[in-house]
Amino acid sequence: MWQLSGFIDEISPDLAEQLALVTELGLGFVELRSVWDVNVLDLDAAQLERVRRGLADAGVRVSSIGSPIGKIPITDDNGPHLDRLRHALAVARFFDAPFVRVFSYFMPADADPDAYRDEVVTRMRALASVAEGSGVTLIHENEKEIFGDVPRRCLEIVESVSSPALKLTWDNANFVQCGVRPFTDGYPLLAPHVAYLQVKDAVFADGSVVPAGEGDGELRETVRAFAADGFDGFVSLEPHLGYGHSLGGFSGPENWRRAHAAFTRILAEEGVEYE
């Protein structure tokens, strides 16, 4: 049984509007990235409690904290970032979320990412060490402009760190935006390490994001393969149908409904059970 979730800050900045739509659509889980235009890691104690009460009243739980951990230049000091990760883990435990999304650092413009491999692995190992024993798993997202943008480098991270506290989250659209055919080029390498799925699609021509199944992201092939291999976990909608940027994106209620309908149609046609 796949468990559908989603980045609800793409619906609206307002918590009540976010929860109204996800409960209308029947989702039991959400992914927290921001509320009231404030990143979840920057909410104060009263705001965090307000979010927790709102979720509880709506009967909704948290699948993951959509944190920006690892979205700093590789040349920046990593010490303060480790402290921010400790806070992210505390926020995850506050919401009983089993996952925190992370990234593998922005590369300098026009640099060869492979030149920073050792530093990235050292930093990712440090992140995993902080998470070990916390009860929360870090999930690295493939994204453009960071070290782990293409399948080969995602694999280098997870294999080199080799920690039960670090797994992968898979995003088809992000691979397309890096010139990668997700299923063809990535699935054989990465599937054993994937613990979480993020859902959006994109087209090679200009990198624009489109609903699931309408782009070049091999979404249907990916869904079919994960289902056949027994994937049984969270699948999080991240539509980006309005706009996207380095720290998030926005869709609006109607585009979020559109993204939900497109993906659940694929699940139904592929015979994948979800709730």
Question: What angle do the packed helices 117-131 and 79-94 form, to 10 degrees?
Answer: 40
Decide which of 47 and 251 is more confident.
47
SS3 of residue 226 by DSSP: helix
Mean pLDDT of 20-24: 95
| Torsion sign across C-alpha atoms 21, 26, 28, 33 | negative
pLDDT value for 241: 83
pLDDT value for 262: 97
pLDDT value for 38: 96
What percent of the chain is predicted at pLDDT more than 90? 95
Delimit the domains of the chain by residue range.
3-269
Over the stretch 216-245, which tens digit does the pLDDT of each residue have?
999 999 999 999 999 999 999 999 886 555
Over the stretch 208-218, which tens digit does the pLDDT of each residue have?
999 999 999 99
pLDDT value for 252: 84
Over the stretch 72-120, which tens digit does the pLDDT of each residue have?
999 999 999 999 999 999 999 999 999 999 999 999 999 999 999 999 9
Tell me: pLDDT of 248 over 90: no
- Distance of CA 110 to CAs 143, 201, 205, Å? 16, 26, 21
CATH T-level assignment (fold) for domain 3-269: TIM Barrel (3.20.20)
What letter does residue 107 receive in the DSSP assignment?
A: P
pLDDT value for 10: 94
What distance in Å separates the CA atoms of residue 75 and residue 68, rounded to the nearest whole number?
Answer: 16
User: Nearest 10 degrees: CA dihedral of 78, 80, 84, 85?
Assistant: 30
Over the stretch 37-64, which tens digit does the pLDDT of each residue have?
999 999 999 999 999 999 999 999 999 9
pLDDT value for 230: 97
Tell me: pLDDT of 159 over 70: yes
The reported pTM is 0.96
Report the greatest alpha carbon distance in the chain: 49
Tell me: pLDDT of 155 over 60: yes
Q: Which of 90, 91, 85 is nearest to 105 (CA)?
A: 85
Q: What is the average pLDDT score of the chain?
A: 96
Tell me: pLDDT of 140 over 60: yes
